[in-house]
Amino acid sequence: MLVLNRKMDMQSSRRPLEGRAAIVTGSTSGIGLGIAKALAEAGSAVMLNGFGHRDDIEMQRRSLAEAHDVDVAYSDADMSQADAIRSMAEQGTRRFGQIDIVINNAGIQHVAPVESFPPEKWDQILAINLSSAFHLVRAIFEGMKARNFGRIVNISSAHGLIASPFKSAYVAAKHGIVGFTKVVALEGADAGVTSNAICPGYVWTPLVERQIDDQAKSHKIPREAVIRDVLLKNQPNKRFASVEEIGALTVFLCSDGGSSITGAAIPVDGGWTAH
Ligand code: NAD
């Protein structure tokens, strides 16, 4: 019996999220995909979401399910649309029976001075990077509280803690999500539901690759100079974080080990916000 118990303990520590079900928004690429992989590896069923080629997404969905022996679904819900977000939550609940973990990750960027920042870009960034988290949490919060377990992880940014010029909408949305995270933490605290924000500095993803190309063109400097003198200028460890690092932290926050961590905004920025 003792041996059996120990074996079960070892198994649950290898697969700390066995039996859980998660929705990860914006998980067809970059950080979201890294988190989805880490959750599946930890034993959780996962609902993928985001844009991309149907065949690629289906291949990704199937290979994740087969590699980790978990149920993996996909929703094409547009995170700028409240109705679509509610439908995605319903689809996830029907498919998995319940939603234990929500990762609000979908996000876009636009860089321009305030006076020429397109108002429609402002609205779009606020909708996708901030309001989508409200709509999804609103849809699943009651169920989590009733079951006395829930994990909400919002992917904010170092720009949720400090500002940079020309990123008004992004910085406003990412600060906003840190505030929202704290409110949800307080409302879920006595019902076993935690809510935390992860605040990455630069992480090597397609979003950052696009920024490197754009900035190289607009500053007329080589890509290496953009990386060294612009992106990693304020990041003291001079390296990009990896999606695997963000995935590992997310798994920990969602595990039993993360039970007392709530309302936190955790920098993963190589010391950037320690300045
Ligand atoms: P990415 O461009 O690689 O991926 C973004 C994902 O969001 C994709 O799956 C895309 O399809 C999806 N998406 C975009 N608009 C959507 C919409 N309307 N509805 C549904 N899905 C949508 O970006 P990334 O670098 O992985 O960024 C992910 C998150 O991490 C974002 O919130 C971003 O702000 C944040 N972040 C990134 C970095 C970084 O350095 N990469 C740093 C800090 C924070």
Say how many C-beta atoms besides its own lie within 10 A of residue 18's C-beta.
12
Question: Ligand 1: does its nearest atom lie under 6 Å from the Cβ of 78?
Answer: yes
**Structural domains in the chain, sorted by start:** 17-203+241-270 (3.40.50.720), 204-240 (no CATH)
Alpha helices in 22-81 (DSSP H): 30-41, 54-68
Going by their DSSP bridges, the two strands 101-104 and 72-75 should be labelled as: unpaired
Q: Is 125 exposed, middle or buried (0-12, 13-18, 19+ CB in 10 A)?
A: buried
- Give 108-150 pLDDT, tens digit per residue: 999 999 999 999 999 999 999 999 999 999 999 999 999 999 9
If pLDDT is split at 50, 70 and 90, which confidence band does 4 have?
A: very low
Residue 170 is a catalytic residue: yes
Active-site residue, selected from the candidate residues 74, 141, 170, 272 = 170
* DSSP conformational letter for 270: T
pLDDT at res. 259? 98
Collect all residues with Cβ–Cβ distance below 8 Å to 61 and sequence separation of at least 6.
Answer: 48, 72, 73, 74
Place of tokens 């844009």: 51
pLDDT at res. 219? 85
pLDDT at res. 11? 47
pLDDT, the chain, mean? 95
Indicate whether 197 pLDDT > 60: yes
Mutate which of 108, 156, 204 for ligand 1? The one with the most ligand atoms within 8 Å of its CB, which is 108
Separation of alpha carbons 129 and 124, rounded Å: 8
44-to-11, 47, 85, 160, 225 alpha-carbon distances in Å: 14, 10, 21, 28, 41
Q: Report which residue type is found at 125.
A: I
Alpha-carbon Rg for the chain, nearest whole angstrom, is 19
Indicate whether 10 pLDDT > 60: no
Mutate which of 174, 177, 207 for ligand 1? The one with the most ligand atoms within 8 Å of its CB, which is 207
Element (H, E) at 150: strand 150-155
Mean pLDDT of all residues in 229-236? 93
Q: What percentage of residues in the chain have a pLDDT greater than 70?
A: 95
